[in-house]
Structure 1
Amino acid sequence: MDDSQLIAACKKQSRNAQKALYELYAPKMMAVCLRYCQNGETARDLLHDGFLQVFTQIGSYSGKGSFEG
């Protein structure tokens, strides 16, 4: 499944697609979180909060621009 298919499935609230998207982007996002707070536990909290935001707002993503960004 490519990114656009994963995003479309996430918009339909597919738990498997959400898990796949999380596993795909979590390592990069964790690195960003660690850069900002430099505390592993806090970084994990920020990571999870960020993904909650992604999954609640994914319906507004139009496909224009980089999803990763």
Structure 2
Amino acid sequence: MYAAIGKQKEISAGDIGVTAKDGAITLYGSVTDASQIDKVVELAKGVPGVTSVTNKLAVKKPLGGM
């Protein structure tokens, strides 16, 4: 899962955590843009063996951002 997210250059994977249990994935942490949340969820759904995805990601603007 981390490898799939890490390949996406527009997503900062360092602030994203993943837990998995029996194919159920929970995403948590923060991204810098709301559009990244959908991308991460879609990536998670595409990982072999994943049966469900719970999204607990939040948008966090970078320091000094508008």
TM-score by length of 2: 0.30
Greater percentage in helix: 1
Greater percentage in strand: 2
